[in-house]
Structure 1
Amino acid sequence: MSDSSRTVPQEQLPSGDLHSPPTPVINLGHLSLDSTTRSCVVNDIAKACRDLGYFQVINHGISQPVMDGAVEAASGFFELPSETKEEFASEDLRQPVRYDTSSKDSISVSRAFLKHYAHPLDDWIQYWPQQPPIYREYMGKYAAEVRRVVLQLMEAILEGLGLGKGYLNEKFHEGSQLMSVNSYPKASQSATAIGLAPHSDYGFLTILLTSCRSLEVVDLSSNTWKTVQQLPHALHVHIGDHMEVLSNGRMKTVVHRALLNPEEARISIASIHGFALHEKVTCAKELVDEENPPKYKESSFSDFLDHLTANMDNKHRNFLESLRM
């Protein structure tokens, strides 16, 4: 149940540069306005997916109390005694709930995490931690709300690809949702500044809620690291590997990393969305022709987990590269 499809060798990483263009900010409320306005927003989303692989969304309909509640629930879990958290520890990536720390996770430098499935919520919530007492209620509310946002975004992205907002509608509605709940300590002079090594996510979309600024992405236009601004009430959106596959390379997955914040400890909640476990993702046939042959082999979430299991000792494991034709 790792959230990353690949880590990137240090020698292939860009240098830091904070002068790259600002992160696009999309007002999701405008998608429900008149057709002309919607078309403009769809075009803006499609451009961000093609050029950058990431953007932020505001006016997304998730209330601040629901977002704050999810962060509170996450903080409460990580404050539990070690023996309570360790009840969820496992090296089996297919466990419905799994806790781990940087001491054993090959892409973490300094973090603890809890990962669990969240859709269908009624099927999975019974496996979630019962401590703290608010965890299931608060995290469940957020998980359901963020899934609604993802389905809205998927319609716009598919529309932007020319596939139509109803494309593969049933498969997206029946797809998987994995919550990766992360805790990063406050940075210190004696510790490394990296909390999570550079990687990309396996699925179609990742929605990231973070308690404070510390996310960096690779800016494709300049091949430099870019610090993502922390906007009030905004959510960060990542394009994942399977979106790159479905779009036959038109949209690009984003490599990102987490830094430790020198001012405070950090909580982040990544909601990662893909097809159901064994459902294969292929290049959309509508985007394949003689000039644009398929660039990737088909694969599923299950194939991704198999790939990770087979490469547990390889810190440079790269699922997307294994799919290239």
Structure 2
Amino acid sequence: MDKSSATPNDSFTSAMTLTEEGLTCIPKRYIVPSSLRPNGTLSNSNTCLPIVDLSLLQHPLLRPQIIQQVHLACKELGFFQVVNHGIPLSVMKDALDNAIELFDLPSEEKLHLLSSNVHDPVRYSTSLNDDKDKVSFWRDFLKHYANPISNWIDLWPSNPTFYKEKMGNYTKAVQKLQEEIMEVIFESLELNPDYLHEDIAKGSQVIAVNCYPACPEPDLALGLPPHTDYSLLSIILQNHQGLQIMDRDEKWHSVPVIEGGLIALVGDHMEVLSNGQYKGVVHRATVNSEKKRLSIASLHSLALGKKVRPAPALVDEQHILSYNEGGFSDFLDFISGEDIVQVKYIDKLKINP
């Protein structure tokens, strides 16, 4: 049965299952159009992707330099990595180890979480949007809501045994971290660091645990196609290289794995809030033939029913209002009815696209 019609009671084929079957060629539905294929599209330049040492914010003389570094990173790339961010290596490793355990479970152990409904607070599936994909992508994922964690953790998987504890520890730590990074980003926009503080603290957090199994024909497939996140800010932990970002010249760059580092991505809602000063970064996930890659993405915005709108201080005669308001619930409605490879969410929010 084709996966687009799969329900928990139907047959379901995950990317992990296809890998375990020992295929030497990928099924036709996973072959992406030539324009999307990653082979040969990487920049050959020696561009240094920005790395921000958050511990330097505690030094009054260095703080302005870090704020300026974040400003340039957000404006020029929509991307930076953070180090010395306060989350212990052990917490990050435990989260990745539990993600590996989760996807290594037999398929029948995960099928009760299977869903193609993007509104479900806990959802296991494959590819991107099962109901809308014209092309499938070489990925299995588990997505679940996470903030406030007490509202959602009982819905998370109970198998692996320590999933709730270990992923919960990481989730709480990264929620706190994004609040700190948001203050820095707001300051870099010359807003009050406490701007929307309560809304940010009580905002939505979606944890996307992604598994990109080894792929027999990686030059023909993608784990995720080029896209921007809907979020204000996304924070990503990866165990192997595979994430690539597009710069403003539309050149692709591989994001290296830095021990202890985390990746910060500007999303569509930050583009709205900044009235276009910071654009959401286009990124994609590549696959390889040698090993399974795991990533844990924590996507942050305002609460489900709240709207993000341009900060009034960033709208004036020189910077006219350029975006309509939008929220997490609007985004869910959007992806339930659109193919996001063909239609961009941010274009729906632009006043003059």
Q: TM-score, normalised by structure 1?
A: 0.92
Give the equivalent residue in structure 2 for 1:3: none
Q: What is the CA deviation profile of residues 143-168 of structure 1, one whole-angstrom value per residue up to 9, with x for unaligned ones?
A: 01111110110000001101110111
Question: Which residue among 149, 152, 159 is the counterpart of 2:180?
Answer: 152
Give the equivalent residue in structure 2 for 1:228: 255
CA contact (8 A) 2:227 2:282 kept: yes
CA contact (8 A) 2:78 2:266 kept: yes
Question: Which residue among 200, 206, 214 is the counterpart of 2:228?
Answer: 200
CA radius of gyration, larger in: 2
Question: Which residue among 70, 75, 79 is the counterpart of 1:50?
Answer: 75
Give the equivalent residue in structure 2 for 1:23: 49
| 1:267 aligned partner, one-letter code | L
| Partner Cα separation in structure 2 for residue 252 and residue 12 of structure 1 | 21
Give the equivalent residue in structure 2 for 1:109: 137
Give the equivalent residue in structure 1 for 2:105: 80
Identity rate, percent: 41
| 2:301 aligned partner, one-letter code | G
What secondary structure does 2:69 align onto? helix
Q: Is the counterpart of residue 129 in structure 1 residue 154 in structure 2?
A: no
CA contact (8 A) 1:281 1:299 kept: yes
What's the CA shift for 1:228?
A: 1.0
What's the CA shift for 1:10?
A: 7.1
Q: What is the CA deviation profile of residues 145-194 of structure 1, one whole-angstrom value per residue up to 9, with x for unaligned ones?
A: 11111011000000110111011111111101000000011132477342
CA contact (8 A) 1:308 1:317 kept: no
Q: Is the counterpart of residue 254 in structure 1 residue 307 in structure 2?
A: no
Instruction: Compare 96-105 and 19-28 and name the one that shifted more.
Output: 96-105
Give the equivalent residue in structure 2 for 1:184: 212
Which one scores higher on RCO, CA 8 angstroms, separation ≥ 6? 1
What secondary structure does 1:131 align onto? coil
| Partner Cα separation in structure 2 for residue 190 and residue 224 of structure 1 | 20
What secondary structure does 2:336 align onto? helix
| Partner Cα separation in structure 2 for residue 236 and residue 320 of structure 1 | 21
Aligned length: 315
| Partner Cα separation in structure 1 for residue 229 and residue 166 of structure 2 | 25
Give the equivalent residue in structure 2 for 1:319: 345
CA contact (8 A) 1:202 1:241 kept: yes
| Partner Cα separation in structure 2 for residue 315 and residue 22 of structure 1 | 28
CA contact (8 A) 2:42 2:254 kept: no
CA contact (8 A) 1:108 1:196 kept: no
| 1:50 aligned partner, one-letter code | K
What secondary structure does 2:180 align onto? helix
**Unmatched 5+ stretches in structure 1:** 1-8
| 2:316 aligned partner, one-letter code | D
CA contact (8 A) 1:26 1:44 kept: yes
Q: TM-score, normalised by structure 2?
A: 0.85
**Unmatched 5+ stretches in structure 2:** 1-32
Q: Which runs of 4+ in 1 moved over 6 A?
A: none
What's the CA shift for 1:272?
A: 0.3
CA contact (8 A) 1:205 1:243 kept: yes
Give the equivalent residue in structure 2 for 1:89: 114
What secondary structure does 1:194 align onto? coil
What secondary structure does 1:92 align onto? coil
Question: Which residue among 84, 104, 107 is the counterpart of 1:59?
Answer: 84
Q: Is the counterpart of residue 297 in structure 1 residue 329 in structure 2?
A: no
